[in-house]
Amino acid sequence: MRSIKNILTIYDPIILLIVIFLIFWSILNVYSATFHEYSNLYIKQAVFGVIGLTVMLLLPFIDYRKVLNLSPYLYLIGIILLLGVMLFGKTILGAKRWINLGFFMLQPSELMKFIMILITAHLLDDKKSISLKDISIVLIITAIPLILILKQPDLGTSIMVLLPVLVILFTAGLPKRYIFGAIGLFISLAPFIWQHMKEYQKKRILAFLNPEADPFGSAYHILQSKIAVGSGQLTGKGFLEGTQSKLFFLPEQHTDFIFATIGEEWGFLMSALIVLLYLILGIRIVLWGLKIKHIAGKYVCFGSAGLITLQAFINISMTVGFAPVVGITLPLISYGGTSLITFCLIIGLVLSVIAEYKREKIHF
């Protein structure tokens, strides 16, 4: 008995409970969003949920530093997989993002998020302050997968691969002049970027900026998604009772727009709770990061928290009409095996950092 209790103490209960709740919530809502169109997506999601949870619970038994040391190899594997997508990838809805493994459609770009957290933390380990050289190395290392993912094309995921890297650089004490410099550069380059965007991307941004201009084209999704969320009112229409999210002709109602289903069927109470859960999850992980002494461990925490919470918030912003539509999933809830398992890996790694900290504390 004691040993089981001992084992359980290495986990952070709050993180664990939130993750389990979100995965359960995912299965429920994937079912609701798809039962009328597909028969078994929720079962697949449940299977991935179990696999993901198992991986997450097992990771804390491995010293995360060993995993960090493996990160260059993992990075290479990730790049090879991305190249594999380019060569043998499966095209769905005009984008080449998946490798068909027969039983499973692997999306290596999702996995890359995990790998980028690892390698960035690994590269910046033991650095009290970061130099221009460190920053350059990290950015070059990031640029390679970023370009490969942009080519697929998948703007959403490439932003989300970059995001944790930026968060880590930021928390590593990136000098303010670089931050402002980067922002200035971005603004001055914006017209150039605009010119090089794909037609559909421009349309989405225009639709976001001015939805009334073209309510039946690109802005249609945003409008319909807003109606779905809004129509949920305080308590929602009830499980499986949403009409809007099922009728609104969105191909992504179970992936990118799953929050619309939640908003419509469960109302404000549940939607707000979901937002709060992501907030608590993020804060909790950051707080652990503040406590931990080992620098790479800190970065793992900060990067992971930044990725999970910000990705969730950006996805929700999209659904409520606050951000242009880019393909970004709601972490742990959106349908998709690779995405779910990637986030389980990331949280598993965070739990491993925490467990290591707890173990050391006991020993001392």
Partner 1 sequence: MNSRGYFLIFVFTVFSLILLGRLIHLQIIKGEYYYEKSEKNHLRVVVLNAPRGNIYDRNGILLAYDKPSYNLYTFPYITKKRLKILERNLKRILNIELSKDIKEKIKKGNSLKVVIKKNLTDKQIEKFFRYSYLFTGIYLEVQPRRIYTEYARYMPHLIGYVGYPSEKELKENPKLRPDTLIGKSGVEKIFDRYLRGKYGTKGMVVDALGRIKEIKWENLPKRGNDIYLTVDARIQKIVYEAFKNTGEKSGAVIVFNPDGYEILALLSYPIYDIQKFSDGLTKEEWKEIIKNPYKPLLNKALKGIYPPGSIFKIVVGLGALNEGVITPNTRIYSGGKFKLGNFVFRNWNLGGCGRVNVMEALETSCDTFFYQISLNLGVRNITKYTKLFGIGEKLNPEIEKRVAIVPTPEWKRKRFGKPWYPGDTIVYSIGQGYLSITPFDGAKIIAPIANGGKIYRPKLLKAVHNRDTGEYKETEKVLIRKLPVKQEYIKTIKRGIYLVVYGNRGTAKLLSLSPVKVAGKTGTAQVIRKKDPKQRVKKWKYQNHAWYVSLFPYDKPRFAMSVFVEHGIGGSKTAVPITKYIIDELYRKGIINEKY
Name the residues that contact partner 1, by CB under 8 A: 36-37, 167, 170-173, 215-216, 226-234, 243-244, 246-247, 249, 263-264, 267-268, 271-272, 275-276, 278-279, 282-283, 286-287, 289-290, 298, 302, 305-306, 309-310, 313, 316-317, 320, 322
CB of residue 227 to partner 1, shortest distance in Å: 5
Spatial distance between the Cα atoms of 230 and 268, rounded to a whole number of angstroms: 9
Q: Which residues contact 33 (CB under 8 A, 6 or more apart)?
A: 245, 246, 253, 254, 258, 261, 335
CB of residue 361 to partner 1, shortest distance in Å: 18
C-beta closer to partner 1: residue 182 or 189: 182
CA distances for 329 relative to 23, 39, 142, 195, angstroms = 14, 21, 21, 26
C-beta closer to partner 1: residue 341 or 354: 354
CB of residue 6 to partner 1, shortest distance in Å: 29
- Beginning with the edge strand found earlier in the chain, give each strand of the sheet holding 105-106 in spatial order: 90-92, 95-100, 105-106
Provide Rg for the chain, Cα atoms. Answer: 20
C-beta closer to partner 1: residue 197 or 276: 276
26: which 2 tokens? Answer: 């995912």
201: which 2 tokens? Answer: 């991307």
CB of residue 103 to partner 1, shortest distance in Å: 24
C-beta closer to partner 1: residue 271 or 338: 271
C-beta closer to partner 1: residue 244 or 342: 244
C-beta closer to partner 1: residue 75 or 335: 335
C-beta closer to partner 1: residue 231 or 342: 231
Instruction: Count CB neighbours of 92 within 10 A.
Output: 11
Spatial distance between the Cα atoms of 159 and 84, rounded to a whole number of angstroms: 21
C-beta closer to partner 1: residue 7 or 287: 287
| Distance, first Cα to last Cα, the chain | 24
CB of residue 272 to partner 1, shortest distance in Å: 6
C-beta closer to partner 1: residue 109 or 152: 152
CB of residue 352 to partner 1, shortest distance in Å: 19
CB of residue 130 to partner 1, shortest distance in Å: 10
CB of residue 97 to partner 1, shortest distance in Å: 18
Report yes or no: 345 and 228 within 8 Å, Cβ to Cβ: no
CB of residue 267 to partner 1, shortest distance in Å: 6
CB of residue 268 to partner 1, shortest distance in Å: 4
C-beta closer to partner 1: residue 292 or 344: 292
